[in-house]
Structures are given as structure tokens and as C-alpha cells.
Amino acid sequence: DTEVTQTPKHLVMGMTNKKSLKCEQHMGHRAMYWYKQKAKKPPELMFVYSYEKLSINESVPSRFSPECPNSSLLNLHLHALQPEDSALYLCASLNIGGGHTEAFFGQGTRLTVV
């Protein structure tokens, strides 16, 4: 099973809403990432979790709050977002064995902030 599952696929939220994005993998990978992707741009790293601990926060605003309840799950809690936060949010699970970093991406959550 090489699948990374993200829910929901689409999300529309107002600027005062609180919502959460979910990501799940069952490949036994111990590193999971959140990326943000704007149209016609490459994925932009937001957070890295390694062994369920936050190891990288790429200066992401506090209105984005990640959580890693266990090695298979990764959440991204959203609060008071701005319209410019509308993007495709991608979760990736990383195989960090064998001396290289191989990322498996989910299908993403298309987020629209209104």
C-alpha cells in the first residue's frame, strides 16, 4: 500500500471558521510533511514531522497549526485564514531509508477561503 489519503478533497471556509485537514498513511513511514501549492507553482514546504515530533516549521503563520497524533496520522488545523491562503494543501509521507528521501504525496485538499 503506497497510498497517502487526504480528507476532505475540497473545502470552502469563511475567514472566521475553524476547520481541520487530515492525512493518513500506512506505509510505516516515520516522516510526514505538509506542503502548500499555489496554481502553477511548485509545492512549498510548511511543516515536517519526524517520529511524531515537529522538526521543521518553515515560518508558517500561527493560523495554521499542525498535529501528529501518531505515526500514521497528520492533521492541519486551520483558524482565521485569509483569502490568500486558498491553495492546494498536500500531505506527503517520506521513506527516509536507504540514504535518500522519497516522498509519496496525497491527492491534496483544495482549500478556498471566502
Q: In 3-state terms, what secondary structure has residue 40?
A: coil
Sheet of 73-79: strand order equals 4-7, 18-25, 73-79, 64-70
Residue 51 contacts another protein per CB under 8 A? no
Residue type for position 87: A
Residue type for position 111: L
Residue type for position 110: R
Residue 41 contacts another protein per CB under 8 A? yes
* Chosen residue from 42, 70, 83, 84 binding another protein by CB under 8 A: 42
Q: Give me 93's grid cell.
A: 509521507
**Secondary structure (DSSP) of 58-85:** -S--TTEEEEEEETTEEEEEEES--GGG
* Chosen residue from 43, 68, 78, 87 binding another protein by CB under 8 A: 43
* Chosen residue from 36, 93, 106, 111 binding another protein by CB under 8 A: 106
* Chosen residue from 11, 21, 46, 48 binding another protein by CB under 8 A: 48
Give me the least distance between CB of 9 and another protein, in Å please.
9
Give me the least distance between CB of 78 and another protein, in Å please.
19
Residues lying near another protein in the complex (CB under 8 A):
4, 6, 31, 33, 40-43, 45, 48, 50, 55-56, 88, 90, 92, 94, 96, 99-108, 110
